[in-house]
Structure 1
């Protein structure tokens, strides 16, 4: 396993993590199976025309899903983490309080916790059933190392909102 050190990446000011091709295609399975059954039921018998229609719809949806999900991910820069979802967010490293792995519905995702209490779950890297990523742990550690290396010397932990300030 190759270790990526933020200060030892030659010629790179940024690292980008995206979903893998299989992870993007696997996101279509939950809609493909019911759509296939609906196509067969619609005609009453599995006919040639219904399968052509089904395959055409799946092809169009597949291209749309793969194209859209290829935009998701995170870009690590020396000053901030740029989160690519349906909208782009830039989270300065100084405002990040922790980087954690969270389980959600059988999938493990990386989450960034900010000083104001906001949690941002990243779309990539992720790993889970049908979306396995062998490099997930390494990517999680790279994100954590970038945070530790770039959060600044004046960074201080902030207590979570609602806990009150210690006296």
Structure 2
């Protein structure tokens, strides 16, 4: 899939984000809900192995209630993970804000872990930074977003040869 011929919007001064990729509500909730369900199952198995008995219906109801509450609350929370594309910077959003100049990025890689693809940014100083967004989990447009990110990187470096 080819990206836009001119990835920077006209008149972009480079200071404000022109494009932002964030995780969707289901992309945030799915791993958490899966973990809670797996934790409930594991707790039940450990209880059987160590004590020889299953969870009581009250204990199981408490665990499943936590899963239901989390399934309602987590998707409503705003996603703080993502990336912003500006004329001069790739801004990584997460626990903290990290700005990486396009010229300092020497490569972008797509990594697949447990069937989920994500973008890794390779920086000139040797760091490899995993971007939390975009990611392929529940996102059919991942390939398109990865191509846009690549186009911005090429344009931000000054062309296909880093000019």
Tell me the TM-score range normalised by the shorter chain.
0.7 to 0.9
CA distance in 1 between partners of 2:110 and 2:83 (Å): 15
Query: 2:30 — aligned with what?
Result: 26
Evaluate the alpha carbon distance shift between residue 73 and residue 96 of structure 1 in structure 2; reply closer, same or farther with a 3 A threshold.
Answer: same
Contact 2:120 2:130 survives alignment (8 Å): yes
> Which residue of 83, 101, 106 corresponds with 1:97?
106
Q: TM-score, normalised by structure 1?
A: 0.71
Alignment deviations for residues 65-120 of structure 1 (CA, whole Å, 9 cap, x no partner): 54678111111111101111222211111101111212233321111111111111
Query: 1:165 — aligned with what?
Result: none
Consecutive unaligned residues of structure 1, counting only runs of 5 or more, are: 158-167
- Report 1:33-112 matches (<5 A): 33-36=38-41, 38=43, 41=47, 44=53, 47-59=56-68, 61-62=70-71, 66=75, 70-112=79-121
Contact 1:39 1:54 survives alignment (8 Å): no
Contact 2:17 2:84 survives alignment (8 Å): no
Contact 1:36 1:54 survives alignment (8 Å): no
Aligned length: 153
**Root mean square deviation, CA, Å:** 3.5
Evaluate the alpha carbon distance shift between residue 67 and residue 89 of structure 1 in structure 2; reply closer, same or farther with a 3 A threshold.
Answer: farther
Q: Secondary structure at the match of 1:122?
A: strand
Consecutive unaligned residues of structure 2, counting only runs of 5 or more, are: none
CA distance in 1 between partners of 2:25 and 2:143 (Å): 18
Q: TM-score, normalised by structure 2?
A: 0.73
Moved more, 104-113 or 57-66: 57-66
Query: 1:136 — aligned with what?
Result: 142
Q: Secondary structure at the match of 2:138?
A: coil
Evaluate the alpha carbon distance shift between residue 91 and residue 64 of structure 1 in structure 2; reply closer, same or farther with a 3 A threshold.
Answer: farther
2:117 is aligned with 1:117:
no
